[in-house]
Structure 1
Amino acid sequence: MQTIEFFDFQKVDMRAGTIIEVRDFKEVRNPAYKIWVDMGPLGIKKTSAQITQNYSIEELPGRQVICVCNFPKKQIANFMSEILITGFKDEQNNIVLATLERNVPNGEKLH
């Protein structure tokens, strides 16, 4: 594993946000959702996530997630992703969202 300096870690802007809307993303090859996340002072940000194996559309709104906010925007099919919702692969290689133990204000930075 490569080590990094603390200064390098500080460059990654990771924040808490609350999922407010989820839609099927039918225009992509692999099953995915279009997701809108309330990032507090940063506003509403959108992203795409391949999490359909572990999560239904109905269970995602209201869930607080950890997002990387300072990647460049990325075009995915006809949709512009503005943030990255973080997660881990489970035993079947499906993503499990990285969430918070308790709610914090939307936009709060990871320390």
Structure 2
Amino acid sequence: MQTIQFSDFQKVEIRIGTIIQAEIFSEAKKPAYKLLVDLGELGIKKSSAQITENYVPENLVGKHVICICNFPPKQIANIMSEVLVTGFHDQNGHVVLATSDLPVPNGTKLY
């Protein structure tokens, strides 16, 4: 594992948001959902997430997720993804979303 300086960590905008909309992203090359994430003062941002193995769209709405907010936007099929919703691979290699165990305001930064 490569070590980094604390100042490198401080450059990454890791914030929590709430998924307010989730739908099947049929235009994506790999199975994915289109998400709208409310990030408080940063606004509502779009994301594409390959999380179809462990989640269905109707169960994602209201879920608090940890996002990387300062990557440049990335074109994915017909949408511009504005944030990266983070997660971990489970024992089968499918993504489990990174969340908070207690509610905090949308847009709160990880320290």
TM-score in terms of structure 2 length: 0.99
Q: Distance in 2 between matches of 1:65 and 1:20?
A: 11
- 2:46 corresponds in structure 1 to 46
**Are 2:46 and 2:80, in contact at CA under 8 Å, matched by a contact in 1?**
yes
Where does structure 1 differ by over 4 angstroms across 4 or more consecutive aligned residues? none
- 1:92 corresponds in structure 2 to 92
Query: Equivalent residues in 2 for 1:31-42 (5 A)?
Result: 31-42=31-42
Query: Equivalent residues in 2 for 1:2-81 (5 A)?
Result: 2-81=2-81
- CA positional deviation for 1:28: 1.4
Q: Distance in 2 between matches of 1:28 and 1:70?
A: 22
Q: Distance in 2 between matches of 1:13 and 1:93?
A: 26
Q: What is the aligned residue count? A: 111
- 1:82 corresponds in structure 2 to 82
| 1:58-77: CA deviation from partner (whole Å, max 9, x where unpaired) | 10000000000000000001
Structure 1 unmatched ranges of 5 or more: none
